[in-house]
Amino acid sequence: MNKPPQIEEVIAKAPATLSIRWTTGETLQADVGDWIGRFKILAPLKDPDFFSKARVGWYGHSIEWSDEVELGADQLYNRCKAQAGERSPAEFDDWMKRNGLSLATAAEALGMTRRMIAHYRTGSKPIPIHIWLACIGWETLKHKAA
pLDDT of residue 86: 82
pLDDT of residue 57: 95
CATH number at residue 45: 3.30.2020.10
Q: H helices of the chain, where?
A: 33-38, 48-51, 73-83, 89-98, 103-110, 114-122, 129-145
Q: Is residue 130 part of a domain?
A: yes
Q: Is residue 34 part of a domain?
A: yes
Count: domains in the chain: 2
Same-domain status, 108 and 133: yes
The whole domain housing 109 covers: 89-145
Same-domain status, 100 and 32: no
pLDDT, mean of residues 9-26: 95
Strands 55-56 and 62-64 turn out to be antiparallel
Q: Is residue 44 part of a domain?
A: yes
pLDDT of residue 124: 83
Q: Is residue 1 part of a domain?
A: no
pLDDT, mean of residues 95-121: 96
Same-domain status, 103 and 119: yes
Share of the chain above pLDDT 70, in %: 97
pLDDT of residue 122: 86
User: What does the pLDDT look like over 65-92, one tens digit per residue?
Assistant: 999 999 999 999 989 988 988 888 888 9
pLDDT of residue 1: 46
pLDDT of residue 44: 96
CATH number at residue 126: 1.10.260.40
Q: Of 41, 68, 83, which residue constitutes the final position of a domain? A: 83
How long a stretch of residues is the chain?
146
pLDDT, mean of residues 123-145: 90
- Is residue 123 over pLDDT 90? no
